[in-house]
């Protein structure tokens, strides 16, 4: 199982990614080994998690969400 996730950074920006283990990946982001963007901006909290059946589906969904404007991303989890 793969997961598409959105996390909020300390500066309020949003980061979208995929993983097989959400807890491990969030800890990587928090400790500065998760990626360049979150290393620079600081990971604050996970705000959205979505299951996907395989890596291909997760990657396609990640690309779709990344193409959205911030306002549309916020609609996924601020209801």
The pLDDT of residue 14 is 97
Whether residue 78 has pLDDT greater than 90: no
pLDDT level of residue 79 (50, 70, 90 thresholds): low
The model's pTM is 0.93
pLDDT digits (tens, 9 = 90+) for 27-65: 999 998 888 999 999 999 999 999 999 999 999 999 999
Q: In sequence order, what DSSP letters do the residues of 1-55 get, joined into one string? A: -EEEEEEEETTS-EEEEEES-HHHHHHHHHTT-S-HHHHHH-EEEEEEEEEESSH
The domains located in the chain, with CATH, are 2-77 (3.40.1440.10)
Percent of the chain with pLDDT over 90: 91
């Amino acid at each position: 199982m793969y997961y598409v996730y959105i996390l909020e950074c300390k500066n309020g920006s949003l980061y979208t990614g995929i993983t097989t283990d959400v807890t491990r990946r969030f800890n990587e982001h928090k400790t500065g080994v998760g990626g360049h963007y979150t290393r620079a901006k600081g990971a604050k909290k996970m705000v959205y998690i979505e299951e996907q059946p395989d890596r291909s589906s997760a990657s396609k969904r990640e690309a779709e969400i990344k193409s959205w404007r911030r306002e549309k991303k916020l609609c996924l989890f601020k209801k």
